[in-house]
A and B are shown apart, each in its own frame.
Chain A
Amino acid sequence: MTQHIAKTCRALIVVAGLAAVAAIDVRGQAPAPAPAPGFDLSGYWSPVLHEDGMDRGAGPEIGDYGGIPINESGRLFALSYDPSRLTLRHHQCDGYVAPYQMRALGNSRAWEERDPKTHRLIAIHWFSQTFEGKRTIWMDGRPHPPAYAPHSWMGFSTGRFVGNALEVRTTHLKQGWYRRNGTPESDQATLVEFFVRHGDRLTHTVVVSDPVYLEEPLVTTTDFYRQPTDHQNWLFPCDDGEQVLGRAPDDVPSYLFGQNPFVKEYRAKYKLAAVGHLGGAPSLQPEIVSTLAAAKDDLSLERPSRGAQATSKAASPEPADGEIHILPVRGNVYMLIGDAGNIVVQVGNEGVFVVDTGTGARAAKTLAAIRTLSDKPVQFIANTSFLPDRTGGNEALRKAGADLSVRGTFFSLQFRDAGIGATIMAHQNVQNRLNAAKRPAEALPTDTFLEERRRTFHNDDAIEMLWQPNAITDGDSLVHFRRADVIVTGDIFTTTQYPLIDVTNGGTVEGEIKALNQILDRTVFAHQGEGGTLVVPGHGYLSDEHEVVEYRDMVVIVRDRIRALVRAGATLEQVKAARPTADYDTRYGATTGPWTTDMFVEAVYRTTARK
Chain B
Amino acid sequence: MTSANVTRQIAAYAIVLTLAAPIARAQRGGGPPPPQSPRVAAPIDLTGYWVSLITEDWRYRVATPPKGDYNSVPLNPAGRKAADTWDPARDESAGEQCKAYGVGGVMRLPGRLHIVWQDDRTLSIETDAGTQVRTLRFGPTSTGASDWQGNSQASWDRMEGPMGAGILFGGGGFGVGNSAGGSLKVITKGMKPGYLRKNGVPYSADAVITEYFDRFELPGGDALLVVATEVVDPTYLAQPFWTSTHFRKQRDATGWKPTPCTVR
Which residues of A come within 8 Å of B, CB atoms?
2-3, 5-6, 9-10, 12-14, 16-17, 19-21, 23-24, 26-30, 32-39, 48-54, 64, 66-69, 120-121, 124, 139-141, 159-165, 167, 192, 194, 196, 198, 201, 203, 205, 207, 217-223, 225, 270-272, 276-277, 283-289, 292
Contact = CB atoms under 8 A, between A and B. Distances in A.
Contact of A196 (B56, B72, B214): B214
B33 A36 contact: no
17 contacts: A13-B10, A13-B13, A17-B20, A24-B24, A36-B161, A39-B159, A120-B173, A140-B175, A162-B178, A163-B178, A163-B181, A196-B228, A201-B212, A270-B59, A276-B62, A286-B54, A286-B255
B145 interface: no
A491 to B, nearest CB: 35
B56 A36 contact: no
Contacts of B183: 164, 196, 198
Interface of B: 1-3, 5-6, 9-10, 13-14, 16-17, 20-21, 24-25, 28-30, 33, 36, 43-44, 51-59, 62-63, 71-74, 110-112, 129, 157-169, 171, 173-183, 185, 212, 214, 216-219, 224, 226, 228, 230, 241-246, 248, 255
A536 to B, nearest CB: 32
Contacts of B10: 6, 9, 13
B212 A9 contact: no
Given A37-B161, A198-B157, A221-B244, A161 B62 contact: no
Contact of B212 (A17, A162, A198, A277): A198
A287 B57 contact: no
* A-B CB proximity, top 7 nearest: A163-B181, A36-B161, A139-B175, A34-B166, A35-B171, A28-B29, A53-B72
Nearest to B161: A36
B63 A161 contact: no
A24 B219 CA distance: 32
Contacts of A272: 59, 62-63
A351 B217 CA distance: 54
B17 to A, nearest CB: 4
Contacts of A283: 54, 58, 62
Nearest to B230: A201
B88 to A, nearest CB: 16
Contact of A121 (B174, B242, B246): B174
A49 B244 CA distance: 11
B55 A68 contact: yes
Contacts of B179: 33, 35-38, 161-164
A35 B180 contact: yes
A33 B110 contact: no
Given A37-B165, A50-B74, A51-B244, A285 B176 contact: no
B166 A194 contact: no
B210 to A, nearest CB: 9
Nearest to B166: A34
Contacts of B72: 49-54
A52 B169 CA distance: 43
Chain B binding surface SS class: mixed
A602 B14 CA distance: 79
Contacts of B13: 9-10, 13-14, 17
Contacts of B181: 162-165
Contacts of A220: 55-56, 246
B174 A21 contact: no
B178 A2 contact: no
Contacts of B180: 32-33, 35, 163
Contacts of B5: 2, 6
Contact of B17 (A16, A32, A217): A16
A67 B177 contact: no
Contacts of A66: 58-59, 62
Q: Which of B36, B129, B166, B169 has the most CB of A within 10 A?
A: B166
Contacts of B214: 164-165, 194, 196, 203
A26 B28 contact: yes
Nearest to B262: A289
B159 to A, nearest CB: 4
Chain A binding surface SS class: mixed
Contacts of A52: 56-57, 72
Nearest to B211: A198
Contacts of A164: 157-159, 179, 181-183, 214
B185 to A, nearest CB: 8
Contact of A20 (B21, B57, B58, B62): B21
Contact of A160 (B51, B112, B163, B176): B176
Nearest to A293: B63
B206 to A, nearest CB: 19
Nearest to A5: B6
A17 B30 CA distance: 20
B246 A54 contact: no
Contacts of A32: 180
Contacts of A6: 1, 5-6, 9-10
A516 B62 CA distance: 44
B51 A285 contact: yes
A547 to B, nearest CB: 27
B118 to A, nearest CB: 24
Contacts of A163: 43-44, 159, 178-182, 216
A16 B162 contact: no
A157 to B, nearest CB: 12
A10 B56 contact: no
A64 B163 CA distance: 50
Contacts of A38: 161, 174-176, 179
Contact of B54 (A12, A27, A120, A284): A284
A35 B55 contact: no
Contacts of B3: 2
A207 B225 CA distance: 12
Given A21-B21, A34-B167, A68-B55, 8 more contacts: A28-B30, A36-B161, A37-B165, A160-B177, A194-B216, A205-B244, A283-B62, A286-B111
A19 B22 CA distance: 13
Nearest to B217: A162
A48 B165 CA distance: 33
B127 to A, nearest CB: 10
B162 A219 contact: no
B167 A23 contact: yes
Contacts of A48: 242
Contact of A67 (B21, B54, B244): B54
B255 A205 contact: no
B132 to A, nearest CB: 14
B175 A67 contact: no
Nearest to B196: A50
Contact of B243 (A9, A50, A287): A50
